[in-house]
Amino acid sequence: MTRKKQLKDKGFTLVEMMIILSIFAILLGILIPSLNTLVDYRATRAAKSISSGLERMRTEAMSRLVAEMKLEKKSDGYYISYCLHKGKQAGMVWTDEEKIAPARTSIKYRLAMKDSAEIKTGESIILTVDRSTKGFRPLQSAAVTTDEVNALIDNNEDIAYHDIDGAECCDIIVSGTVKKGIISLNQTTGKCTVTSG
């Protein structure tokens, strides 16, 4: 008799299993929209970080010989960093790398008269402004090096940037699950505006 009772008490009954699954489904239904809101919040925050990074880069470019901002995607997310000329001795220095968004976020850029392209893992875009016009330059194929800057200073020449022909970046689009943050770059003034979509 005791053996029969032990076998009977093992495991869940069908009713108990249905109750547990129902509770789990309700909790999952509450949790998923909360996670989507978190991803959208991070996307909005990333758009604001990019916008303030562009403004910082613009300010640095006006007070230094060269300032560039790199937006790149690594395996764990998106980062921005700055390449600044810190004088002839220090030269060009990459500084202040900051993670702005997790890898689940999507960041794309759109060139004038072209479709948008997503920044994939291992890829980056380099942005800078023209000190004389204060407007954005085309995307850069590489950052300006210390040797290039020093040679140009010694020869009393203008900085030679690595412009990509026809690569004027008009928008940077940061997407969460539902919301988008669109950073519009004004090519002539070097300013940017952030809108939500």
Q: What backbone torsions phi and psi does residue 76 show, to the nearest 5 degrees?
A: -105, 5
Nearest residue to 167 via CA among 131, 114, 120: 114
User: Quick one: tokens of 106?
Assistant: 């999507």
The whole-angstrom distance between residue 148's C-alpha and the CA centroid of its chain comes to 28
Answer whether CATH 3.55.40.10 is correct for domain 13-196.
Answer: yes
Q: What is the pLDDT of residues 13-39, one digit of tens each?
A: 888 888 888 898 888 777 666 666 777
Are the C-beta atoms of 137 and 161 separated by less than 8 Å? yes
Output the pLDDT for position 109: 96
Whole-model pTM? Answer: 0.77
Q: Spell out a b/e string for 119-148, using b for 16 or more CB atoms within 10 Å of the CB, else e.
A: beeeebbbbbbbbeeebbbbbbeebbebeb
Nearest residue to 113 via CA among 187, 52, 180: 187
User: Quick one: tokens of 88?
Assistant: 């002839």
Q: What is the pLDDT of residues 56-108, one digit of tens each?
A: 999 988 888 788 999 999 999 999 999 988 877 788 888 889 999 998 899 99
Output the pLDDT for position 148: 87
Are the C-beta atoms of 126 and 68 separated by less than 8 Å? yes
Output the pLDDT for position 100: 94
Q: What is the pLDDT of residues 144-163, one digit of tens each?
A: 888 888 888 888 887 788 99
